[in-house]
């Protein structure tokens, strides 16, 4: 099994190197340990972080969220070390405010305070999108893989489309909302569809085509700027990377490393296919959206849509096995195959984050017991 994470890429072309660069951004909730409600203490948490870690933290649209960002990595062990360090330090900082740091994809109980930080862009977002911008907090895991050639990055995103529902299912970690089970493994995915810039990546012919389309969307007013393109995979607006942002934040650092390793291998495989002139799988947008809905609903506990076969339903773990088989040459090339195999065996035994939460809730009938266990998983390795 693999363990590694990407956030940004270097300025050099890494696509011909033995390792593609990686970077990871993880968003976390800050929760009241007594009520389970979101705690609006992000400013205080970031203020008490050690300075070296504070530089790798970010405030988000919600005062109950904090984001931690790794540096550029080539080795999964290096990535894992950073993820664990960031989680532990952010968890310790949260404890000083009386809150818990929790890796969960959607607000599990309630967000009493929904005002945004006093920044011009955030105020503009609230004016533009109204109540959608005041929805309870959502937390994702964004994986960056270094692909500095933007035309290549756009074509890679096109090729990723058939596999991203499988990645989404792997990361499902938000079954609860308002203290009850939503029936979805990733409620975050459902909530996010209220935003106009969220969803499967459209197909583009080139970087110029991508840029022209984004500019047109900004002109219409549906997006404030190009940073509000929240498609499931995109050429990063900030770094020379392909950014995959389809997943919920993962319960543990090892879960994140596994997902990052698979995404890096997927990007590497799509680069190989592009350079070899392999045909791109053609998928209707409505069927692609349906595949993502099913991934959010089922996680790995049911069936997923095989988009390569036109929409056939297949057991989720069968799709995971095919994903690994497809990217195994890239996993071998990066030295990640053994780690990925081991971590997938653990995930198969433990289940997704959503499955783990549901087991605890079935046993205790107590949402706070679920959140306490999530808080433990977030910082303990």
Which domain, by its residues, includes 32?
22-379
Query: Residue 254, Cα to own-chain centre: how many angstroms?
Result: 14
Q: Does residue 88 lie in a domain region? A: yes
- Token output for 40: 């609006």
Per-residue model confidence (pLDDT) at position 58: 86
Any idea what the CATH number is for the domain that residue 190 is in?
3.30.590.20
Residue 364: C-alpha distances to residues 344, 359, 371, 380 (Å): 27, 9, 12, 22
Q: Give the H or E element holding residue 71.
A: none
Per-residue model confidence (pLDDT) at position 356: 98
Q: Could you tell me which of 182, 189, 184 has the C-alpha nearest to residue 247?
A: 189
Contact 139, 65 (CB under 8 A): yes
Q: Strand 241-248 to strand 100-102: parallel, antiparallel, or no bridges (unpaired)?
A: unpaired
Q: Does residue 32 lie in a domain region? A: yes
- Token output for 152: 């290549």
Q: Strand 233-235 to strand 22-31: parallel, antiparallel, or no bridges (unpaired)?
A: unpaired
pTM: 0.94
Q: Could you tell me which of 121, 286, 103, 324 has the C-alpha nearest to residue 200?
A: 286
| Number of domain units in the chain | 1
Q: Does residue 87 lie in a domain region? A: yes
| Grouped pLDDT means (10 residues each) for the chain, 381 residues | 31 52 98 97 95 90 94 96 97 97 98 88 92 95 96 97 98 98 98 95 95 96 92 93 98 98 98 97 95 98 96 97 98 97 98 98 98 97 73
**Lookup result for tokens 């590497």:** 268
Distance CA 381, CA 370 (A): 18
- Token output for 72: 């550029």
Residue 57 β-bridge partners: 68
Contact 260, 6 (CB under 8 A): yes
Q: Does residue 306 lie in a domain region? A: yes
Q: Does residue 171 lie in a domain region? A: yes
Q: Could you tell me which of 212, 287, 200, 180 has the C-alpha nearest to residue 246?
A: 200
Q: Where does residue 375 rank: exposed (0-12), middle (13-18), buried (19+ CB within 10 A)?
A: buried
- Token output for 171: 């990361």
Distance CA 354, CA 371 (A): 12
Per-residue model confidence (pLDDT) at position 18: 57
Contact 249, 139 (CB under 8 A): yes
Q: Does residue 344 lie in a domain region? A: yes
Residue 72's CB: how many other CB atoms inside 10 A? 19
Q: Does residue 17 lie in a domain region? A: no
Per-residue model confidence (pLDDT) at position 1: 27
- Token output for 370: 């679920």
Q: Does residue 276 lie in a domain region? A: yes
């Amino acid at each position: 099994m693999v363990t590694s994470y990407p956030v940004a890429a270097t300025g050099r072309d890494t696509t011909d190197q033995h390792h593609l660069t990686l970077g990871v951004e993880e968003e976390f909730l800050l929760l009241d340990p007594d009520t389970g409600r979101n705690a609006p203490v992000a400013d205080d948490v970031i203020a008490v972080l050690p300075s070296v870690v504070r530089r790798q933290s970010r405030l988000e649209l919600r005062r109950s969220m904090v984001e931690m960002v790794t540096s550029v990595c080539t080795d999964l062990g290096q990535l894992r070390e950073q993820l664990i360090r960031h989680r532990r330090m952010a968890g310790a900082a949260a404890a000083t405010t009386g809150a818990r740091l929790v890796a969960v994809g959607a607000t599990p109980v309630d967000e009493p305070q929904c005002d945004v930080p006093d920044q011009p862009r955030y105020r503009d977002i609230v004016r533009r999108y109204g109540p959608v911008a005041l929805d309870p907090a959502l937390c994702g895991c964004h994986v960056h893989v270094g692909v500095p050639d933007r035309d290549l990055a756009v074509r890679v995103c096109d090729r990723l489309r058939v596999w991203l529902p499988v990645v989404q299912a792997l990361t499902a970690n938000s079954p609860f909302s308002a203290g009850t089970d939503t029936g979805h493994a990733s409620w975050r995915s459902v909530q996010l569809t209220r935003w106009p810039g969220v969803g499967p990546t459209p197909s583009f012919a080139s970087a110029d085509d991508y840029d022209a389309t984004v500019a047109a969307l900004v002109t219409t007013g549906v997006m404030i700027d190009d940073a509000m393109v929240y498609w499931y995979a995109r050429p990063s607006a900030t770094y020379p990377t392909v950014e995959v942002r389809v997943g919920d934040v993962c319960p543990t650092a090892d879960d994140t490393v596994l997902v990052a390793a698979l995404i890096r291998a997927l990007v590497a495989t799509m680069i190989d296919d592009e350079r070899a002139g392999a045909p791109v799988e053609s998928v209707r947008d409505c069927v692609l959206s349906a595949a993502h809905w099913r991934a959010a609903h089922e996680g790995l506990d049911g069936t997923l849509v095989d988009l390569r076969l036109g929409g056939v339903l297949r057991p989720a773990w069968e799709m995971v096995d095919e994903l690994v088989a497809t990217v195994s040459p890239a996993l071998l090339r990066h030295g990640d195959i053994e780690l990925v195999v081991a971590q997938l065996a653990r995930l198969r035994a433990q289940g997704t984050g959503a499955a783990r939460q549901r087991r605890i809730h079935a046993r205790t009938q107590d949402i706070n017991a679920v959140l306490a266990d999530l808080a433990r998983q977030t910082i303990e390795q």
